[in-house]
Chains A and B, each alone.
Chain A
Amino acid sequence: MRGNVIKYAQDNIDTDVIIPGQYLKVHDYAELATHAMEGLDPNFHSKVKEGDFILSGKNFGCGSSREHAPIALSHSGIKAVLALSFARIFYRNAVDGAFLLPIEIEQDAYDAISEGDEIDIDISTNEIRNMTKNKIYKMKPFSEIIGKIISAGGLFKYKPDQD
């Protein structure tokens, strides 16, 4: 999976800025995408490209259980969010609904990857390759259940009884 990085170098990016509360009534995914990150970066919608990644700090997606948050990012073209840590509901919504990959990274990757860098993510080797800077970083592996749900393509396609 290869794409360019949009970096928000801060912790605690919450669901109120990922998709403000006034849009919770909206269930049209394309319309939600036009308001993604509106509370933090009004230019996000114009700059994001299909296949991009977001890079951020600790506790990404904290706040509400709104599935609108991973939906708005995913329908903006975001394939993965790389963060030092995630809030739990955002994380499981992203995985169970198969909207995007929440990838936990270490401090070295967070510090080294810059806005606009082209990176390649390989979840089979847990490696992130920075094509722009020609460097390789390790991502934290998914836990067993998360790995299985991701491989199945979301919770509804995952068959726990066949384990």
Chain B
Amino acid sequence: MNIVEKILARSSGKSKVSPDDVVFAKVDKVMMHDVSGPGVIKVFDKLKKQGISVDKLWDSKKVWVAEDHFVPSAEKISAENIAKLSKFTKQYGIDKHFKYGMGQYGICHTISHEEAMVMPGDVYVGGDSHTNTTGALGAFACGLGHTDIAYVLLNGKIWFKVPETFYFKLNGKLPDHVMAKDFILKIIGDIGTDGGAYRTMQFGGSGIDEMSVQSRLTLCNMTTEAGAKNGIIEPDQKVVDYLTRRGATNVNLIKGDDDAEYEKIFEYEGSEMEPIVAKPFSPENISIVREAPSVELDKCYIGSCTGAKYEDLEAAARILKGRKVKIRTEILPAAISIYQRAMENGLLKIFLDAGVTVGPPTCGACCGAHMGVLAKDEICISTTNRNFPGRMGHVESQTYLSSPLVAAASAVTGKITDPRDLK
């Protein structure tokens, strides 16, 4: 069995599972946030009316809650949603509620690894499609809607069809000017936004071994944009160290069997990878940066679970150090712990000196919610994950998706720019 089959077999009490088997998997961790949480609460209200008991969760210790989409509260509806969440976690005794304005909080997928909420081998579900991110730690991490999350909260298990697995093998390191974001955009360009549909996308090879945990998180994050059920990477000592530094103990490793089967294997040579952008209006609509259209950009957005981890901020700072931005640029660290490290290591000064507006952790404009949404005809380069029509604001705005290096270089020139071409 491969790693996903092993996790699903273990969690469903079976000795072996194969693709297309339907299992009810026991869940190890479940997450909801200020968008899925109020949805779950609404499902609970409906169940109560049908006479189904919602007095007790299956295990409140395995539940954690994030505030990220509309925080700090954008207006009164989002403020009410945050209040509902607080009432819910108090009522059900959920201790792990990361509240804004009270120390560590941030985008749920970033908190999942920054706070070591999820361990290798876990079945982890979250009320958000980018829950896939955390598969980079070696978990089966999968996004669900709020009816399914409500079901997990009450029953501790959920059904899955065991997925087929596509294996993406990266031979050799990526060049310095190429980031994990470029690699995953290249893959999505190759297989399309439904290319991984219903499947696991697993990453491996010497290029992945060499890659930092945070870069691996970027890869798994955007398996969602290829339609995948989840993304996963077999955990190694780097994952153990990463989680241990963040307070985890007894981190166990899990790997697929030597004779594990994959539906298809795709191979990429690290040295051949180039900086990539995804043009409007789809993550599969890719172009090499040096061949991208010469458009006048209005905005640069460096944020989100995809593109505002510490490593992403460091990459942007390498470019912005001693330079000025030519277009409106926002940088929103994805969690308070990252914000703090950015302050301690001088990154915030570099950003502010360059003219950047530094904002609080939030999903913000990535999903067109608030904090810098786009006007009609505005063109943005962004380290986020989607560029469908209206994703970041007006339905006639445009978003180009890129790595933090490309986004920062483009902020300096006002045009889509390969970091190697910056003077």
Interface of chain A residues 56 through 76 with chain B (CB within 8 A):
58-59, 62-68
Residues of B contacting A155 with CB < 8 Å?
147-148, 151, 159
Residues of A contacting B151 with CB < 8 Å?
96, 155-156
Interface assignment of A46: CB less than 8 Å from any CB of chain B: no
Residues of A contacting B145 with CB < 8 Å?
65-67, 89, 92-93, 96-97
Contact present for B368 and A156 (CB under 8 Å): no
B residues contacting the other copy or chain, number (CB 8 A): 48
Give the interface SS of chain B, mostly helix, strand, loop or mixed. Answer: loop
Contact present for B193 and A59 (CB under 8 Å): yes
Interface assignment of B173: CB less than 8 Å from any CB of chain A: no
Interface assignment of A134: CB less than 8 Å from any CB of chain B: no
The 7 closest A-B pairs by CB, nearest first: A93-B145, A21-B367, A67-B145, A59-B194, A97-B147, A21-B368, A65-B129
Residues of A contacting B386 with CB < 8 Å?
14, 16, 63-64
Q: Please encode chain A, from 137 to 158, with 1 for each CB lying within 8 Å of some chain B CB and 0 for all others.
A: 0000001110000000011100
Partner of B143, one of A62, A65, A68: A65
Interface assignment of A136: CB less than 8 Å from any CB of chain B: no
Contact present for B388 and A14 (CB under 8 Å): yes
Interface assignment of B38: CB less than 8 Å from any CB of chain A: yes
Residues of B contacting A130 with CB < 8 Å?
none
Residues of B contacting A27 with CB < 8 Å?
38-39, 42, 81
Interface assignment of A24: CB less than 8 Å from any CB of chain B: yes
CA distance A93 to B127 in the complex (A): 11
CA distance A62 to B387 in the complex (A): 12
Contact present for B22 and A88 (CB under 8 Å): no
Contact present for A160 and B159 (CB under 8 Å): yes
CA distance A154 to B34 in the complex (A): 24
Interface assignment of B295: CB less than 8 Å from any CB of chain A: no
Residues of B contacting A144 with CB < 8 Å?
22
Partner of A62, one of B50, B131, B159, B194: B194
Interface assignment of B52: CB less than 8 Å from any CB of chain A: yes
Partner of B369, one of A24, A58, A93, A154: A24
Give the interface SS of chain A, mostly helix, strand, loop or mixed. Answer: loop
Tell whether A89 pairs with B129 under 8 Å between CB atoms, given A25-B35, A67-B146, A156-B52. Answer: yes
Residues of A contacting B415 with CB < 8 Å?
none
Partner of A87, one of B22, B42, B52, B197: B197
Nearest to A22 among chain B residues (CB) is B368
Of B34, B128, B373, B386, most A-chain CB atoms within 10 Å: B386
Interface assignment of A1: CB less than 8 Å from any CB of chain B: no
Q: Please encode chain A, from 108 to 151, with 1 for each CB lying within 8 Å of some chain B CB and 0 for all others.
A: 00000000000000000000000000000000000111000000
Interface assignment of B92: CB less than 8 Å from any CB of chain A: no
Q: Please encode chain A, from 75 to 89, with 1 for each CB lying within 8 Å of some chain B CB and 0 for all others.
A: 000000000010111
CA distance A85 to B195 in the complex (A): 12
Contact present for B22 and A145 (CB under 8 Å): yes
Residues of B contacting A88 with CB < 8 Å?
197-198, 227, 229
CA distance A59 to B39 in the complex (A): 24
Interface assignment of A101: CB less than 8 Å from any CB of chain B: no
Residues of B contacting A48 with CB < 8 Å?
none
Contact present for B390 and A17 (CB under 8 Å): yes
Nearest to A95 among chain B residues (CB) is B147
- Give residues in A with beta carbon < 8 Å to B: 12, 14, 16-17, 20-22, 24-27, 39-40, 58-59, 62-68, 85, 87-89, 92-93, 96-97, 143-145, 154-156, 160
Of A40, A65, A154, most B-chain CB atoms within 10 Å: A65
Partner of A16, one of B148, B159, B368: B368
State the total of A-B contacts with C-beta under 8 angstroms. Answer: 126
Interface assignment of B395: CB less than 8 Å from any CB of chain A: yes
- Chain A's nearest CB lies how many Å from the CB of B272? 28
CA distance A18 to B389 in the complex (A): 11
- Chain B's nearest CB lies how many Å from the CB of A96? 5
CA distance A143 to B162 in the complex (A): 13
Contact present for B197 and A21 (CB under 8 Å): no
CA distance A156 to B158 in the complex (A): 11
Contact present for B197 and A59 (CB under 8 Å): yes
- Chain A's nearest CB lies how many Å from the CB of B349? 32
Residues of B contacting A67 with CB < 8 Å?
36, 39, 145-147
CA distance A143 to B190 in the complex (A): 29
- Chain A's nearest CB lies how many Å from the CB of B337? 25
Residues of A contacting B390 with CB < 8 Å?
16-17, 20-21, 39
Contact present for B144 and A92 (CB under 8 Å): yes
- Chain A's nearest CB lies how many Å from the CB of B279? 15
- Chain B's nearest CB lies how many Å from the CB of A122? 25
Contact present for B144 and A39 (CB under 8 Å): no
CA distance A67 to B147 in the complex (A): 8
Partner of B389, one of A17, A58, A97: A17
Residues of A contacting B193 with CB < 8 Å?
12, 59, 62
Interface assignment of B78: CB less than 8 Å from any CB of chain A: yes
Tell whether A65 pairs with B24 under 8 Å between CB atoms, given A39-B389, A87-B227. Answer: no
